[in-house]
Structure 1
Amino acid sequence: MIDSLLLVFMIIAILGVGSQWIAWKFQLPAIVVMSIAGLLAGPFLGLINPEQQFGDLYRPLISIAVAIILFEGSLNLNFKELRGLGKPVFRIVTWGAFIAWILGSSTAHFVAGLSWPVSLVIGGIFIVTGPTVILPLLRQSKLKPTPARILKWEGIVVDPFGALLAVFAFEFILFLMSDGRDITSLLMFLLASLFAVVLGYLFGKTVGWMFESGYIPEFLKSPAVFGAVIACFTIADEVKHETGLLAVTAMGITLANIGISSIRDMRHFKENISILLVSTVFILLTSSLTMDTLKDVFRLEIIGYVLLMLFVVRPLSIFLSTIGSGLSIQEKTLVGWIAPRGIVALTVASYFASVLEDEGFPGASVVLPLTFALVFSTVCVHGFSIGWLAEKLDLSSKGNPGAIIVGSNRLSVAIAKVMEELKIPVLVVDSSWDRLYTARRAGVNHTHEEILSEQTEYMIDFTPYDYLISATEYDSYNALVCSTFIPEFGRKNVYRLPRQNHSGDQLDDLDHTIGGAELFRPAEGVETLKFKLESGYVLRKTTITDQYNFDDYLVDRDRETVLLFVLKQSKQIAFFREDAEINVSPGDTVVSLTPPSKEFFKIKEKLVEKREEQTGEKPKDNN
């Protein structure tokens, strides 16, 4: 085992971030990769054992991690967005969660052999799915809107409340099992809980006010939130253990609902600090497991518990809670199967395992292997089966990777129209109802939203779309949109139209890493491209063949032709850019903006070919 704590910290950070990168690169569930990395470094190779090496520091680290993760989840709970979620979502996050708690607790007691106090606490924790695990699965599987919406909002709403349910269950059990059943202790807990809620509310209001009033500079906002969350958790927890979780949840909900303009910055806090924390903490937990704990995972009672949670508890809670909700059998089946537990379940369960052991409850030692078995099983089984099951139930919207086009004008609508003809999912977004007239008249998929509004992420389902193109007449706005959505889509999948020299924005010195890549070859501004459309240019789809390769196409094309994109045989889209070369193969379809003279020539050529009754080696054009 490594003696240097500095080396231990280094290994944990590298394994955590490296696991996240591998999961992203190969489209794997991140928790699976992190679990394997932690187990290899810990119980299998014996390089690290953070619980022993950190000593008294280990438990506070886990407590802070739980606080940050719960704050992250509660920061998504904007009550305005919860209105109108629909009957299925409401029932699942209320009655469904309650049924899952009762059934899960009963299963833990009668099958896993845990005592009732431990079972009720662990049952509360396991009602969570959590956005950290469910959202990546939804993006990967591309479900249809209804099941995707249900799973997404169940994760967001239930995520912070599983731990709170466990806290209240734990305290009420302590009261009921005390010899004298002193009502004073229960009242003290309720008063401490009220204090924690008020404290979280005050912290949230204070942080929001300081942000809006400019008392905290931009570069200090993330560190300030981080410090405030730790302070809020610590103060409440010092007053009464376990109420710190309630305080940070109240703080997050307050910040999410007071309508401050910096809420998006605080969500970037989640992406920056919280992702790093989640990665390292998961390595901490898995590498601290012992071989005896791992052997416990394969005990018959734990295996039976996991199987019942997978095949009975979850489906039954969904089917019972959604009776009369209007969901189809296929939708109930999919939602009833998908419930991956993730980092929230593991960290909160680890936190309560030590608390339950300290209180001397029988069966507390089984909590950690039971949790690890359920988390690892659900992430693997659900992560690798969601796409297959969705396709079998006809609930998958998989097809060509889609594109969101920001800005409704003649050019963007023409591109959207040709994408729809190629079976590419496309959505035109504009904040102006008047500008959307062009999209409405063309019959392309469109929505009336401001893409930069924080509400947009709730109003638009981004799941079917892999690319974003900002195609408005304003260069600076295009750059801002692209920079905003780089974290969502990835730097390589965010594009904007070329800058216009006469637009007045003067963005020639714009750093190449800001604002997305410039589209199309040759690069021309939106006004120039729109003028070409008005002059009779047409969008042409040309299929490349073995007889007529891409080099032949480049030789034959008109000099004024603007190359737009290529739809590959793999259904991926490759956009033409000045600074990038595209490998175009037989079977790929090239889309270009072609002068009208070329169109007339093509018509004449087709007439000649038809007259001569030739099969021809020329490309097949579908306009």
Structure 2
Amino acid sequence: MMDSLLLILMLVAVLGIGSQWLAWKFQLPAIVVMSIAGLLVGPVFGLMNPEEAFGDMYRPFISIAVAIILFEGSLNLNFKEVKGLGKPVFRIVTWGAFIAWILGSVAAHFVAGMSWAVAFVIGGIFIVTGPTVILPLLRQSKLKPKPAKILKWEGIIVDPFGALVAIFAFEFILFLSADGRDATSLFLFLLAALFAVVLGYIFGKVVAWMFESGHVPEFLKSPAVFVAVIACFILADEVKHETGLLAVTAMGMTMANLGISSIKDMRHFKENISILLISTVFILLTSSLTTETLMDVFRPEIIGFVLLMLFVVRPLSVFLSTVNSGLNLREKTLVGWIAPRGIVALTVASYFASILADEGFDGASLITPLTFALVFSTVVVHGFSIGWLAKKLNLSAEGNPGVLIVGSNRFSNALVKVMQELDIPSVVVDSSWDRLQRARKAGIPHNHCEILSEQTEYTMNFTPYDYLLASTEYDAYNALVCSTFLPEFGRKNVFRLPNQSHSGDQINDIDHTIGGREVFSPMEGIEELKYKMKSGYVMRKTSLTDQYRYKDYLEDRHEETILLFILKQSKQITFFTNDVEISASPGDTIVSMTPPSKEFNKIKEKLEEQRNEKG
């Protein structure tokens, strides 16, 4: 076993981020990969035991990590955005969560053999699905907008509240149990909980005021929030243990609803920190499991509890809470099946396992194996079945990668049209009804919205689209759109048209990391493309075969042909850029803008052939 703490820290970080990368590379649930990695270096091969190595620092580190993860989740709870989510979402996150809590607690008591105190705490934690697990599944499965919206917002809204339900359940159970506590102890807890909420609100207001009034420079904003979250958590927790999580949740919700101009940048920073913490914490927790705890996972009562949660508790809570909500049977079936528990459930459960064990409650020792069994089972089962079930229920959007094009004009409309002919999910987005008029008349998929507005995230379904192309007349705006969506789409999947030399923007000298990858060069940007479309250029699709290869096409094409993209046989899309050398194989389709002269020649050749046949 490793003795060096630095070596253990290095291994934990490498395994955590490496697992995330492998999960992304091979389209696997990240938790499954992290679980396997943590178990291999921990109880299986005994290379390390972080709980022993960290000693007294282990629990505080886990607690702070949970606080930051919950704060990041609560930053998404903007009440203005939640209001318009519709009846099904509201029902599931209120009545559905309550039913799931009660049924889960009953199952934990009667099936898993836990005391009522432990059962109600663990039942509250298990209402959490969480965006860290559900959002990657939605991106992979490409559900239709309605079920995708329900699952997404259930995870976002319920995520911060599972821990809070567990906190209040714990305190009320302590009050009701025969341990000598009286109404005074309950009153003091409620007072401490109120103090935590007020403290979180004050921290959120003060941080927001300092940011908006310019008292904190831009480069210090994200670190300042990070330190403020830790301070808010510790101060509340020092007043009354377990209320720190309530304080950071209140702080995050306060900041989310104050309309801070830099909230999106903070979200990106907190997401990055959360991913790092989630990765390391999960490796820490799984590698600290003992062989005995791991074997407890296979106990009949734990397996029975997991099966009940999968096949009874979740479906029943969804079906009961969505009566007369507008969901059909297929949608209820899908939503009632998908409920993967993730990092938040495991970390919060581990947090309470030690507290309940210290209080001497029966069944506290089962919390860790029970939680691990449920998390691992739901992630594996739901992760590998969501795509299959969605297709069976006809709730899956087309699986081909799609393209979101920003800016409606003659060129972008023609590009969307040819993509539709190739069965590529595509849409043109613009904030002007006038610019969208041509797209509407042509029956081209379009969306009227300002792509940079925060509201767009909640009114438009981004799930079908893997690529983004900014094609407006404004070079600076194109660069801004690409920079904004780099975290969502990834740098390699965000593109913009070349800068226009006579546009007046003169942004050629900006840092190469700003904006997306430039496509369709060498040329003069959107104005040249629009002019060529107006002068008779047409979109042409050329299929490559064993007899007509990519090399033949390049030799045969007109010298003024503009190469746009290649649709691979695998349905992946490769745009023509200057920074990557592109190759194509038989079965691929090349899409280009062809000069009218070549079209006229083709027509002449066909007419000549027809005359020869008749003559």
Q: TM-score, normalised by structure 2?
A: 0.98
Q: Distance in 1 between matches of 2:370 and 2:587?
A: 51
Q: Distance in 2 between matches of 1:484 and 1:139?
A: 19
Structure 1 position 590, deviation (Å): 1.3
After superposition, the C-alpha distances for 1:521-555 in whole angstroms (9 at most, x for unaligned) are 44431101111111111111122222322222222
| Mapping 1:408-487, distance limit 5 Å | 408-487=408-487
State which drifts further: 246-255 or 478-487.
Answer: 478-487
Q: Tell me what 1:185 maps to.
A: 185
Q: Tell me what 1:545 maps to.
A: 545
After superposition, the C-alpha distances for 1:477-532 in whole angstroms (9 at most, x for unaligned) are 11111112111111111100011111122222233332111111444311011111
Q: Distance in 2 between matches of 1:180 and 1:355?
A: 18
Q: Tell me what 1:167 maps to.
A: 167
After superposition, the C-alpha distances for 1:139-177 in whole angstroms (9 at most, x for unaligned) are 000000111000000000110011100000000000001
Structure 1 position 366, deviation (Å): 0.3
Q: Distance in 2 between matches of 1:259 and 1:596?
A: 52
In the alignment, structure 1 residue 136 sits paired with structure 2 residue 126? no
| Mapping 1:286-297, distance limit 5 Å | 286-297=286-297
State which drifts further: 61-70 or 597-606.
Answer: 597-606
Secondary structure, counterpart of 1:591 in structure 2? strand
Q: Distance in 2 between matches of 1:611 and 1:192?
A: 93
| Mapping 1:308-457, distance limit 5 Å | 308-457=308-457
Secondary structure, counterpart of 1:434 in structure 2? helix
Q: Measured at CA, do residues 544 and 163 of structure 1 come closer, stay the same or move farther in structure 2, by a change above 3 Å? A: same
Q: Is the 8 A contact 1:568 1:588 kept in 2?
A: yes
Q: Distance in 1 between matches of 2:475 and 2:425?
A: 25
Q: Is the 8 A contact 1:102 1:123 kept in 2?
A: yes
In the alignment, structure 1 residue 35 sits paired with structure 2 residue 43? no
Q: Measured at CA, do residues 609 and 381 of structure 1 come closer, stay the same or move farther in structure 2, by a change above 3 Å? A: farther
Q: Distance in 2 between matches of 1:505 and 1:46?
A: 60
Q: Is the 8 A contact 1:199 1:232 kept in 2?
A: yes
Q: Tell me what 2:204 maps to.
A: 204
After superposition, the C-alpha distances for 1:113-142 in whole angstroms (9 at most, x for unaligned) are 111100000000000000000000000000
Q: Distance in 1 between matches of 2:251 and 2:465?
A: 33
After superposition, the C-alpha distances for 1:201-230 in whole angstroms (9 at most, x for unaligned) are 110011111111111111111111111001
Q: Is the 8 A contact 2:501 2:524 kept in 1?
A: no
Secondary structure, counterpart of 1:285 in structure 2? helix
Q: Distance in 2 between matches of 1:284 and 1:579?
A: 40
Q: Is the 8 A contact 1:32 1:379 kept in 2?
A: yes
Q: Is the 8 A contact 1:114 1:362 kept in 2?
A: yes
| Mapping 1:526-541, distance limit 5 Å | 526-541=526-541
State which drifts further: 540-549 or 486-495.
Answer: 540-549
Q: Tell me what 2:497 maps to.
A: 497
Q: Distance in 1 between matches of 2:227 and 2:371?
A: 30
Letter in 1 for 2:373: A
Q: Is the 8 A contact 1:197 1:246 kept in 2?
A: yes
Q: Tell me what 2:221 maps to.
A: 221
Q: Is the 8 A contact 1:200 1:249 kept in 2?
A: yes
Q: Distance in 1 between matches of 2:612 and 2:193?
A: 87
Secondary structure, counterpart of 2:84 in structure 1? coil
State which drifts further: 76-85 or 508-517.
Answer: 508-517
Q: Measured at CA, do residues 565 and 173 of structure 1 come closer, stay the same or move farther in structure 2, by a change above 3 Å? A: same
Q: Tell me what 2:284 maps to.
A: 284
After superposition, the C-alpha distances for 1:302-331 in whole angstroms (9 at most, x for unaligned) are 011111111111111111111111211111
Q: Tell me what 2:147 maps to.
A: 147
Pairwise CA RMSD of aligned residues?
Answer: 1.4
Q: Distance in 2 between matches of 1:359 and 1:521?
A: 68
Structure 1 position 8, deviation (Å): 1.2
Q: Distance in 2 between matches of 1:613 and 1:163?
A: 80
Q: Is the 8 A contact 1:121 1:169 kept in 2?
A: yes
Q: Tell me what 1:238 maps to.
A: 238
Secondary structure, counterpart of 1:454 in structure 2? coil
Secondary structure, counterpart of 2:227 in structure 1? helix
Q: Distance in 1 between matches of 2:266 and 2:321?
A: 34
Letter in 2 for 1:212: E
Aligned residues: 614
In the alignment, structure 1 residue 583 sits paired with structure 2 residue 583? yes
Q: Tell me what 1:5 maps to.
A: 5
Taking only the aligned residue pairs, the percentage that are identical comes to 78
Q: Measured at CA, do residues 552 and 195 of structure 1 come closer, stay the same or move farther in structure 2, by a change above 3 Å? A: same
Q: Tell me what 1:619 maps to.
A: none
Secondary structure, counterpart of 1:457 in structure 2? helix
Which structure 2 residue ranges, 5 or more long, are not aligned?
none
Q: Tell me what 1:55 maps to.
A: 55
Secondary structure, counterpart of 2:159 in structure 1? helix
Secondary structure, counterpart of 2:403 in structure 1? strand
Q: Distance in 1 between matches of 2:306 and 2:500?
A: 60
Q: Measured at CA, do residues 418 and 179 of structure 1 come closer, stay the same or move farther in structure 2, by a change above 3 Å? A: same
Structure 1 position 180, deviation (Å): 4.3
Q: Is the 8 A contact 1:130 1:341 kept in 2?
A: yes
Letter in 2 for 1:240: K
Q: Distance in 1 between matches of 2:489 and 2:613?
A: 48
Q: Is the 8 A contact 1:42 1:287 kept in 2?
A: yes
Q: Measured at CA, do residues 585 and 341 of structure 1 come closer, stay the same or move farther in structure 2, by a change above 3 Å? A: same
Q: Distance in 2 between matches of 1:77 and 1:570?
A: 38
Q: Tell me what 1:95 maps to.
A: 95
Q: Distance in 2 between matches of 1:576 and 1:264?
A: 31
Structure 1 position 436, deviation (Å): 1.9
Q: Tell me what 1:593 maps to.
A: 593
Q: Is the 8 A contact 1:521 1:564 kept in 2?
A: no
Q: Tell me what 1:621 maps to.
A: none
| Mapping 1:256-275, distance limit 5 Å | 256-275=256-275
Q: Is the 8 A contact 2:398 2:425 kept in 1?
A: no
Q: Distance in 1 between matches of 2:59 and 2:386?
A: 35
Q: Is the 8 A contact 1:141 1:398 kept in 2?
A: no
Q: Distance in 2 between matches of 1:610 and 1:198?
A: 84
Q: Measured at CA, do residues 495 and 183 of structure 1 come closer, stay the same or move farther in structure 2, by a change above 3 Å? A: same
Q: Is the 8 A contact 1:523 1:577 kept in 2?
A: no
Q: Distance in 1 between matches of 2:298 and 2:399?
A: 39
Structure 1 position 612, deviation (Å): 6.3
Secondary structure, counterpart of 1:35 in structure 2? helix
Q: Measured at CA, do residues 607 and 578 of structure 1 come closer, stay the same or move farther in structure 2, by a change above 3 Å? A: farther
